[in-house]
Amino acid sequence: MNEEIKVDKTLDLKGLPCPMPILKTSRGIKEVEIGQVIEVLSTDPGSLADFPSWTRSSGNELLKTDQSGEVTKFYIKRLV
């Protein structure tokens, strides 16, 4: 998926360890409309495994994971 993803909100969760990234994301995603996309910035190594699990269980869609540097970016579309 190379096309540009339109981000409606960014959650900066750098430096926060488990369980904060998913707690804050579950909160933060409610601040956008259904169909909109949030970008989550996390430095927690557990997030790589956790975000796919969280999106599957919560019923949202993980569009893209960008793991280029120390900070991993997750693009999540709110579906519920």
Residue 15 found at the interface with another protein (CB under 8 A): yes
**35 vs 59, beta carbon nearer another protein:** 59
Q: 45: cis peptide before it, omega within 30°?
A: no
Question: Contact at 8 Å (CB) between 71 and 59?
Answer: no
* Span interacting with another protein, options 2-10, 20-28, 31-39, 68-76, rule CB under 8 A: 20-28
Instruction: Kindly tell me which residue out of 7, 18, 34, 79 binds another protein, with binding defined by CB under 8 A.
Output: 18
30 is catalytic: no
Query: From CA 17, how far away is CA 45, in angstroms rounded?
Result: 8
